[in-house]
Structures are given as structure tokens and as C-alpha cells.
Amino acid sequence: MIHVVSAVLIKNGRVFFQQRPEDKDLAFCFETPGGKIEPDESHHAAIRRELKEELGFVIGRIAERPLWEGEVPLKHKENVFLYYYRVFDWKGDPQPLEKQGFGWFTTNEIVGLTVTPGNELAMLKVCEEATVSLHHQPCHCGRCPDPPIGRGE
């Protein structure tokens, strides 16, 4: 079993997706960025490393627990176990360091993308997270940080 982390970055209700490069399995399918966890590497360290390598992002705060996790059965390959983490802040603009396409997509646009099998399984949770973010509704899922304390209004 291969263990992989994936980062869910949301800006103005839009989710960041990148296309897999032409020379990789599932070429040109869209996915949230991430990659394999190295031996003795934490999930958060893997996210920081992968997003720096793939996109030039410097990652700040990451959710403590995964937004979604699960096994993805793959035909003719070793199965993958994916962990999707919400990334709350980052520095830098995306740079296609692996010559991949990318973009920020609304939940309606995401439905029209050809995505990897793992992203297909996690899609409902990713879109729910984008919707909550867009409407600035407090989330009580236990994964997100506590909402800011009220101003006494």
C-alpha cells in the first residue's frame, strides 16, 4: 500500500486543482496537489515538501486531522491510501514546476473536470469545505480550527 497526502487549498470559495503531467499515470487528470509520504515523514511535512516541489508554495497552517481519508483501489497497480488535509494559508503564487496545468475552480466547475480516482472519492468533502469557506459559515466538523471569538456585537 502506498500512502499519499493531498492538500485542499481554497481561495474565495474556489479549490486549487492541478493536472497530472503528461509523463505520469493518469496524465492530464486533475487532482489536488500532494504526493507520496516518505519513510519517517509526517503527513504535514510531506504536504509542505510536495507543494514546495510541485508549485513553489510555502505552506503555513494545516488542519490537524484529514478532511477525508480512504483507500483507492487501482487496476494493475498497488492500491493507494489517501489523506486529504485542508491547508489554511500559504505563501506564493502557483508555479507549474512540473509543467502541469492548474487553476482555481468553483464547485460547479469541479463537477466537469476529469479527476483522479482518489479525488473522485473525496470530492463531496472537498466541495463541502469550499462551500463552507465561501459562505464564511462556522464549521463544527472537529477538523477545522475554532472560529474567532465574537466582538461582543
* 12-16, 54-58, 106-110, 132-136: the lowest-pLDDT one: 132-136
* Mean pLDDT over the full length of the chain: 84
Domain assignment present for residue 140? The answer is no
* Domain assignment present for 147: no
**Residue 47 domain boundaries:** 2-135
How many other CB atoms are there within 10 angstroms of residue 76's CB atom? 4
Residue 31 covered by a domain: yes
CA angle (74, 36, 78) in 5-degree steps = 25
Task: Select the highest-mean-pLDDT range: 18-32, 39-53, 70-84.
Answer: 39-53
Q: CB pairs under 8 A, 24+ apart, for 40-49?
A: 43/5, 43/83, 43/85, 44/85, 46/5, 47/5, 47/7, 47/85, 47/87
Residue 64 sits in a domain whose CATH number is: 3.90.79.10
Write the DSSP symbol of residue 28. T
**Cα(57)–Cα(51) distance, integer angstroms:** 6
Per the structure, how many domains does the chain have?
1
